[in-house]
Amino acid sequence: MKKYFTTPIYYVNDIPHIGHAYCTLATDTLVRYWRKKVGKENVFFLTGTDENSQKTVDAAKLAQKPIDQYLNEMAKNWRTTWEQIGIEFDDFVRTTEKRHVKKVQEIFQKIYKKGDIYKGKYTGLYCTGCETFLKESDLDLNGHCPQHKKPPQKIEEENYFFRLSHYGDRLLEIYEKNRGFLQPESRRNEIVSFIKSGLEDISISRETSEFGITLPIDGKHKVYVWFDALINYLSGLPQGEKNEFWDHSCHIIGKDITRFHCVIWPAMLLSAEISPVTEVFAHGFFTIDGQKMSKSLGNVVSPLTLSEKYGNDALRIGLLSSFEFGNDGDFSAANFDNFYRSRLAGGVGNLFNRVIVLVNKFLEGKKPKKLSIENDELRNFEQLFEEKKIKSAIDYFFSVVDSANELLNKEEPWKLAKVDIEAAKNVFAILLQKLEFLTQMAEILLPETYPEMRIMLGDEECTGEAHILFQKTDE
């Protein structure tokens, strides 16, 4: 079985914040689940950067840097941030790379030959924040883009258009045949009714762009950033659609970009006669203390700040456990800190330390007879991962931590060992079995703590040395 996972490619006009990290960590966690299940070589994980947009040009100007230098520095920043927080991608694609430019031109030619691209005049309202044209009806009462709170630019220019309007029925057929094409269900319903309301052709080139991929049929035009960006999913996969991974693709995206991924992208693929993507999962957004995260509010949180203070595993599991994957939710520094203290340091860390210290003390580290892990327990966890219910899988992990801590407090094996060593051994056997189960789940949920848990659990015969898994942080 093969699995191909992707994240959106991120705009390089800014540095990564925890919203971006949330998406990338969720994908990395799903990837770790599948790597463990079907083998590392059967999973391909792609991420990267989206560089050919007007906002990048504007950002480079603001930074007073030549565009190439700016792009190289920013792409490196994204890549190393992901590496620092423990993301294990198989490839990182940049839309300024040759392999990408070549693929965009190839797909453009295919769609052009099909007769799905034509030249026309366009008058419209362009928002550089969204990198898309907006309709009058999309604007707020002030005539501003509701998301970016800025007036869009009025643009009149010659553009090339893609005949999206021809693909409504065939898109609906995809939704009909493949129930899981877009998840969660609520997003699917939204997009299906959007398609049913009638699709318009879209502009896919810009005459005025200072930067980007030149149209192979007209040197004056640059490919529109979204038409270009979506193709990363093919250019970043060796041999693109010919790679067997392609037929097992899953795009993880934020809910803000579903129309691009679930209407335009599959229509582009249909036109280029490439089989459509298998699955798209659109997750929700989180606010910070109830407010939208934004530079102007000064509440942008860097994933690196959290990982430096609490560690990569805390960042991962803390973000992913805030709300169910697919829903919206909130982040607050106080809740995060509380989660670290009570669930990680006080919960998992304390449990491992206590059990191993006790076994080392009362049984001289010799493991009592091994109890095997119930298949049902693992299956529950796997089932949640297969449904991408990441938060529920984390909750399940902590329910095992809680039940082990309760057992420890109830049975008090340190007292029992003095009066009935056989009874104490039975309690330790159950506790060690729970620790083993938690360690198996931690390989996915707490990948940097996992090797330390293994060391503490020791080998078949004996436990290892006890130590503290989650250090106390400074106030």
Please identify, among the stretches 254-262, 310-318, 339-347, 430-438, the one whose residues bind ligand MSP according to the rule CB under 6 A.
Answer: 254-262
**Longest CA pairwise span in the chain (Å):** 89
Q: Is 145 helix (H, G, I), strand (E, B) or coil?
A: coil
Closer CB to ligand MSP, 213 or 229, in the complex: 229
Closer CB to ligand MSP, 19 or 212, in the complex: 19
257 forms part of the interface with ligand MSP (CB under 6 A): yes
Contacts of 98 (CB under 8 A, 6+ apart): none
- Structural tokens at position 375: 């298949």
- Structural tokens at position 391: 């938060």
- Structural tokens at position 341: 């203290």
CA distance 393 to 222: 45
The DSSP letter of residue 164 is G
Q: How far is the CB of 249 from ligand MSP (least distance, A)?
A: 13
Please, which of residues 283-302 interact with ligand MSP by CB under 6 A? 285-286, 293
Closest by alpha carbon to 165, among 197, 191, 133? 197
Options 43, 71, 230, 404; binder of ligand MSP; rule CB under 6 A? 230
Q: How far is the CB of 210 from ligand MSP (least distance, A)?
A: 18
Q: How far is the CB of 17 from ligand MSP (least distance, A)?
A: 7
Instruction: Tell me how crowded residue 80 is: count the other CB atoms within 10 A of its CB.
Output: 11
Task: Lay out the site mask for ligand MSP across 234-253 (x = CB under 6 A, - = otherwise).
Answer: -------------------x
Q: How far is the CB of 129 from ligand MSP (least distance, A)?
A: 9
Catalytic (active-site) positions: 17, 20, 127, 130, 145, 148, 292, 295
10 forms part of the interface with ligand MSP (CB under 6 A): yes
Please state whether beta strands 214-215 and 117-127 pair in parallel, antiparallel, or not at all (unpaired). Answer: unpaired
CA distance 60 to 365: 60
- Structural tokens at position 78: 């994204």
315 forms part of the interface with ligand MSP (CB under 6 A): no
Options 25, 104, 195, 229; binder of ligand MSP; rule CB under 6 A? 229
Closer CB to ligand MSP, 232 or 405, in the complex: 232
256 forms part of the interface with ligand MSP (CB under 6 A): yes
Q: Is 87 helix (H, G, I), strand (E, B) or coil?
A: coil
254 forms part of the interface with ligand MSP (CB under 6 A): yes
Q: Is 147 exposed, middle or buried (0-12, 13-18, 19+ CB in 10 A)?
A: middle
- Measured CA distances, 355 to 318, 380, 412 (Å): 24, 25, 11
Please identify, among the stretches 2-10, 97-105, 273-281, 450-458, the one whose residues bind ligand MSP according to the rule CB under 6 A.
Answer: 2-10
Would you list the DSSP string of 296-315? Answer: TTT----HHHHHHHH-HHHH
8 forms part of the interface with ligand MSP (CB under 6 A): yes
Options 4, 11, 82, 340; binder of ligand MSP; rule CB under 6 A? 11
Please state whether beta strands 218-223 and 214-215 pair in parallel, antiparallel, or not at all (unpaired). Answer: antiparallel
Task: Lay out the site mask for ligand MSP across 16-35 (x = CB under 6 A, - = otherwise).
Answer: ---xx-xx------------
- Omega within 30 of 0 (cis) for the link into 216: no
Please identify, among the stretches 4-12, 203-211, 294-302, 350-358, the one whose residues bind ligand MSP according to the rule CB under 6 A.
Answer: 4-12
Closer CB to ligand MSP, 254 or 447, in the complex: 254
Q: Which residues on adjacent β-strands are paired with residue 162?
A: 117, 202
Residue linked to tokens 């991924």: 261
Please, which of residues 32-71 interact with ligand MSP by CB under 6 A? 50
Q: How far is the CB of 18 from ligand MSP (least distance, A)?
A: 8
Q: How far is the CB of 319 from ligand MSP (least distance, A)?
A: 9
Closer CB to ligand MSP, 255 or 454, in the complex: 255
CA distance 14 to 327: 25
82 forms part of the interface with ligand MSP (CB under 6 A): no
* Residues in contact with ligand MSP by the rule CB under 6 A: 8-11, 19-20, 22-23, 50, 229-230, 232, 253-254, 256-257, 285-286, 293
